[in-house]
A and B are shown apart, each in its own frame.
Chain A
Amino acid sequence: MSVDKATVRRIAHLARIGVEEEELEGLSGELSSILNWIEQLHEVDTENVPPLASVNHATLLPREDVVNDGGDPDAVLANAPERHDDFFAVPKVVE
């Protein structure tokens, strides 16, 4: 599978990673060679093999419905790059 420059641009946008126009060529080559290597998986017969998302040795244990967290806006906001009052602030989003 070769990943062309347009695909790199699309993927980079989906991932919100800035990519310069000059980099596209190089990235396209790198990603293509990795994907080509990965494609040896297609040799494996996986007919009727159920996918394994995670090796789990646990069963999902629920929490009880009690309020025992939150209530400390300063802890939440302390690391904010931009804070206005008790809000996080970001460049204006146009809906």
Chain B
Amino acid sequence: MSAGELAGLGIAEARRRLAAREISSAELTADCLAAVEAADALNAFILKTPETATEMAAAADARLARGDGGLLEGIPLAIKDLFCTNGIATTTASRILDGFTPPYESTVTEKLFAEGAVMVGKTNMDEFAMGSSSETSAWGPVINPWRATGDNSQRSPGGSSGGSASAVAAGLALGATGTDTGGSIRQPASLTGIVGCKPTYGRCSRWGVVAFSSSLDHPGPMARSVEDTALLLQAMSGHDPKDSTSADVPVPDFAAAIPGDLKGLKIGIPREYRVDGMPDAVETLWSTGADWLRAAGAEVVDISLPHTKYALPTYYIVAPAEASSNLARYDGVRYGLRVAQADVNDMYAATRRAGFGAEVRRRVLIGTYVLSAGYYDAYYLKAQQVRRLILRDFEEAFERVDAILTPTAPEAAFAIGAKSDDPIAMYLNDVFTVPGDLSGVPGISVPAGLSAEGLPLGLQVMARAFDEETMFRVAGRIEDAAGFDAKPAAWWRGES
């Protein structure tokens, strides 16, 4: 067995081998931890937790030996540093949480650990999940394991769950948690050649997940196959009485929904997603994807989601508005950074100035502005109305079709720094994912091909609210047809 071989296993396969006692979680976890150690160049982790991982793996092995392993018993995962972890520092990639150790465990991680999952570390991300490139972290940018053919320059893994995406793509963990507010699971999944799923709003509890934009934040899974993603979502889902927006609906067996053809299903191709300047490879992949679904028995039809172009500006009112309020608690009083000043207002201003990075400050200012007296109706209220129209677009479309197929992102992984100076150019990366967050419908990105430069491209499948089963089945057929098995060259492996 060579280093990284176990870490490269799929979750479904690892579960089989663990259950058969062919491998132990200790071995599997050690292999992941070694891979993590050798991947510092990716800057995928803010905090590595090898000791915790080793203990968890031992406990998992004991349960496996007793034959009472959970759904994810012994499976090493990377946890986005937006999830609060009991007794383990949680930073949300921000200086403002310097020194903060939560005395509680987020519902999602608690559920994962209750099913036996092993945490290898806390992954790097855009600060407070605000970004699409994982460059705004106080711990520096995350690097995409993928490089363009014949070009050694560093690429962004997308964001904000870029650390989780890079960790999964580079084989440092078998899966990861992410959060998706404007595309932060699906877009990095697309840019790193993995699967990422944003479930229906209310499917996964937000309790213990550091809030960015409460009405848009969706915790969800990232993994290397549709089945693995389904297994993770299974473990993460369920009603949580501690989150008032959590839906009290049954959790189906998502993985069981994957097999089967698409006979009788109608798939919509929204014409508004054909945007200017989209690379040919993306355009071509999209129509190839439609062909695959037709071949699997689906009927593919053109549909219209007329308010698509307004989704981004709507998002850039709603998300900063909620964020400006959600981030008010970082005031240097009860936890985290405090910059000492004699006057309390000066203390707030100095603390928040030093603690928040430029993008977070920018969004808090925008959010404060759009909610302030005299601007509320023109911005915030208007955005809420347009949001209703965007939801209606989806409701009407889903009266005609069972799923919607789109590209996940308008382009493949871009160079680190390429969009740092132009916020709007950065925001445009989420043009296909933001509508799903605004409307709350589930979406998944499946790696489906390579760009002209040899970088991964994903296709997105969206479905009706709480119909993740259809979403997974359609995603499964794309996965089968695409046969995406490209891997990034392991250039990052340090000779440590």
Which residues of chain B from 319 to 344 have any CB-CB distance to chain A below 8 Å in the complex? 324, 328, 331-338, 341-344
Q: Is A67 an interface residue (CB 8 A)?
A: no
24 contacts between A and B (CB under 8 A): A7-B369, A11-B365, A12-B349, A16-B345, A18-B354, A27-B362, A27-B365, A31-B365, A49-B389, A51-B388, A54-B214, A55-B438, A55-B440, A56-B201, A56-B245, A57-B249, A76-B334, A79-B100, A79-B335, A80-B333, A80-B335, A81-B333, A91-B342, A91-B346
Q: Is B161 an interface residue (CB 8 A)?
A: no
* Total B residues in contact with A, Cβ cutoff 8 Å: 74
B369 close to A11 (CB less than 8 A): yes
Closest chain B residue, CB of each to CB of A13: B349
Nearest-Cβ distance from residue A72 to partner chain B, whole angstroms: 8
List of B residues within 8 angstroms of A93 by Cβ: 344
List of B residues within 8 angstroms of A88 by Cβ: 333-334
Closest chain A residue, CB of each to CB of B437: A55
Q: A57-B202, A88-B333 are in contact. Are A15 and B344 (CB under 8 A)?
A: no
A17 close to B201 (CB less than 8 A): no
Which of B101, B316, B383, B386 has most A Cβ within 10 Å?
Answer: B386
Q: Is A25 an interface residue (CB 8 A)?
A: no
Which residues of chain B from 375 to 404 have any CB-CB distance to chain A below 8 Å in the complex? 378-379, 381-389, 391
B336 close to A58 (CB less than 8 A): no
A17 close to B352 (CB less than 8 A): yes
Contact of A57 among B200, B310, B317, B383 (CB under 8 A): B200
Q: Is A66 an interface residue (CB 8 A)?
A: no
Task: Classify the interface of chain B: helix, strand, loop or mixed.
Answer: helix
Q: Known contacts A58-B245, A81-B335, A81-B336; can you find 9 more A-B pairs with CB under 8 A?
A: A17-B352, A30-B423, A51-B387, A52-B385, A57-B202, A57-B440, A58-B247, A63-B241, A79-B335
Nearest-Cβ distance from residue B214 to partner chain A, whole angstroms: 8
Q: Is B40 an interface residue (CB 8 A)?
A: no
List of B residues within 8 angstroms of A78 by Cβ: 101, 103
Contact of B382 among A41, A54, A60 (CB under 8 A): A41
B347 close to A90 (CB less than 8 A): yes
List of A residues within 8 angstroms of B271 by Cβ: none
Q: Is A6 an interface residue (CB 8 A)?
A: no
Alpha-carbon distance A55/B442, docked complex (angstroms) = 12
Nearest-Cβ distance from residue B302 to partner chain A, whole angstroms: 23
Q: Is B24 an interface residue (CB 8 A)?
A: no
Nearest-Cβ distance from residue A76 to partner chain B, whole angstroms: 8
B200 close to A91 (CB less than 8 A): no
Q: A63-B241, A80-B335, A92-B344 are in contact. Are A58 and B248 (CB under 8 A)?
A: yes
Q: Is B366 an interface residue (CB 8 A)?
A: yes
Q: Is B212 an interface residue (CB 8 A)?
A: no
Contact of B369 among A3, A13, A43, A44 (CB under 8 A): A3
A55 close to B201 (CB less than 8 A): yes
Chain B residues with CB under 8 Å of chain A are: 99-101, 103, 200-202, 214-215, 241, 244-249, 307, 309-310, 313-314, 316-317, 324, 328, 331-338, 341-350, 352-354, 356, 361-362, 364-366, 368-369, 372, 378-379, 381-389, 391, 423-424, 438-440, 465-466
List of B residues within 8 angstroms of A46 by Cβ: 382, 385-386, 389
A53 close to B215 (CB less than 8 A): yes
Alpha-carbon distance A9/B350, docked complex (angstroms) = 14
List of A residues within 8 angstroms of B350 by Cβ: 18
A11 close to B333 (CB less than 8 A): no
Contact of B201 among A19, A35, A57, A81 (CB under 8 A): A57
Nearest-Cβ distance from residue B146 to partner chain A, whole angstroms: 30
Alpha-carbon distance A37/B169, docked complex (angstroms) = 34
Alpha-carbon distance A57/B202, docked complex (angstroms) = 7
Alpha-carbon distance A75/B103, docked complex (angstroms) = 7
Q: A41-B382, A57-B200 are in contact. Are A16 and B245 (CB under 8 A)?
A: no
B424 close to A82 (CB less than 8 A): no
Q: A52-B387, A79-B336, A82-B338 are in contact. Are A16 and B244 (CB under 8 A)?
A: no
List of A residues within 8 angstroms of B334 by Cβ: 76, 79-80, 88
Which of A30, A40, A51 has most B Cβ within 10 Å?
Answer: A51
A31 close to B344 (CB less than 8 A): no
Q: A33-B424, A51-B381, A88-B334 are in contact. Are A17 and B353 (CB under 8 A)?
A: yes
B338 close to A42 (CB less than 8 A): no
Closest chain A residue, CB of each to CB of B355: A17
A15 close to B382 (CB less than 8 A): no
Nearest-Cβ distance from residue B360 to partner chain A, whole angstroms: 9
Alpha-carbon distance A12/B337, docked complex (angstroms) = 19
Alpha-carbon distance A60/B248, docked complex (angstroms) = 11
A18 close to B245 (CB less than 8 A): no
Q: A41-B386, A46-B386 are in contact. Are A57 and B247 (CB under 8 A)?
A: yes
Q: A38-B317, A51-B384, A57-B249 are in contact. Are A79 and B423 (CB under 8 A)?
A: no
List of A residues within 8 angstroms of B337 by Cβ: 81
Alpha-carbon distance A3/B338, docked complex (angstroms) = 30
List of B residues within 8 angstroms of A75 by Cβ: 103
Q: A12-B365, A41-B383 are in contact. Are A58 and B246 (CB under 8 A)?
A: yes
Closest chain A residue, CB of each to CB of B215: A54
Nearest-Cβ distance from residue B306 to partner chain A, whole angstroms: 10
List of B residues within 8 angstroms of A11 by Cβ: 365, 368-369, 372
List of B residues within 8 angstroms of A81 by Cβ: 332-333, 335-338
